[in-house]
């Protein structure tokens, strides 16, 4: 009596069976041919009885998946644009060959976002911010150089920035109109409060200072940059047009 293989169900005639060219040879060859490479399916037509190591390609998500007790991603989709994904799922990650960037899908907003967020705000042109003597002053970064929906600027002159949950690298730098001793802080909240600082740097009788740190927020968090100066000076613009030395920038890591 014939038996069947466990993966593809190929018919194996017994030694006493007559071999049927159609069912024993032709059908087996067709099954083997269909199994070469990944099976082409959609996210709703995956194989009903997959075997360990089976590979599939979903035409609606462009996902390559392997089966091992469940379906696991083999590689991320490589496509010319987000429009190539007809049925995206929450947090799906793709590589866009057009701009060379990773994108992640958010089902809550039905939108694709760059997987790594980047935003930069600066003090540019003739703008200045007056720094009080012996006091903390909230820094203003009124010019949006690069924006991202995961960084929401607020406050007069852009003094506060609300970030979505995640791991962020935050950097700020400052140029002053004259030498001063100062401390530059990054903190949470909406006010200049050293008790809420998570990063600081200082300079003694100089015109430049910078601070940077990587922090992780589990909830939406508002961040500020503030300065303590021992003399009354102005924060001023300097450097590359359209970027600015006096700035704050945000990079959200994967």
Q: What is the pLDDT of residues 127-184, one digit of tens each?
A: 899 999 999 999 999 999 999 999 999 999 999 999 999 999 999 999 999 999 999 9
Q: What is the C-alpha separation between 146 and 121, in angstroms, rounded?
A: 7
Give the per-residue SS3 of 10-70.
CEECCCCCCCCHHHHHHHHHHHHHHHCCCEEECCCCCCCCCCCCCEEEECCCCCEEEECCC
Q: What is the pLDDT of residues 193-227, one digit of tens each?
A: 999 999 999 999 899 999 999 999 999 999 999 99
Name the strands in the sheet holding 111-114, side by side, starting at the edge strand that comes first in the sequence.
78-79, 93-96, 101-106, 111-114
Nearest to 85 by CA among 114, 63, 67, 109: 63
Could you give all domains of the chain from N- to C-terminal order, each with its CATH number?
3-35 (no CATH), 117-252 (2.60.120.40)
Within 10 angstroms of residue 160's Cβ, the number of other Cβ atoms is 18
Left, alpha or beta for 33 (phi > 0: left; psi -120 to 50: alpha)? alpha
pTM, whole model, 2 decimals? 0.69
């Amino acid at each position: 009596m014939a038996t069947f293989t466990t993966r593809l169900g190929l018919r194996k005639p017994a030694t006493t069976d007559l071999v049927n060219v159609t069912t024993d040879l032709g059908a087996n060859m067709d099954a083997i041919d269909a199994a070469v490479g990944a099976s082409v399916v959609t996210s709703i037509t995956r194989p009903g009885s997959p075997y360990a190591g089976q590979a599939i390609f979903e035409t609606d998500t462009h996902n390559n998946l392997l089966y091992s007790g469940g379906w696991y991603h083999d590689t991320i989709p490589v496509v010319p644009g987000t429009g190539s994904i007809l049925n995206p799922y929450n947090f799906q990650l793709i590589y866009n060959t057009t701009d060379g960037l990773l994108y992640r899908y958010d089902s809550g907003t039905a939108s694709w976002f760059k997987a790594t967020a980047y935003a930069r705000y600066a003090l540019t042109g003739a703008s200045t911010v007056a720094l009080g003597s012996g006091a903390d002053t909230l820094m203003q970064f009124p010019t949006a150089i690069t924006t991202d929906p995961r960084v929401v600027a607020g406050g007069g002159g852009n003094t506060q920035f609300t970030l979505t949950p995640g791991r962020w690298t935050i950097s700020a730098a400052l140029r002053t109109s004259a030498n001063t001793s100062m401390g530059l802080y990054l903190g949470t909240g909406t006010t200049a409060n050293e008790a809420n600082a998570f990063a600081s740097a200082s300079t003694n009788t100089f015109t430049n200072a910078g601070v940077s740190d990587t922090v992780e927020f589990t909830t939406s968090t508002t961040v500020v940059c503030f300065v303590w100066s021992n003399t009354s000076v102005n924060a001023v613009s300097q450097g590359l047009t359209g970027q600015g030395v006096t700035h704050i920038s945000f990079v959200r890591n994967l």
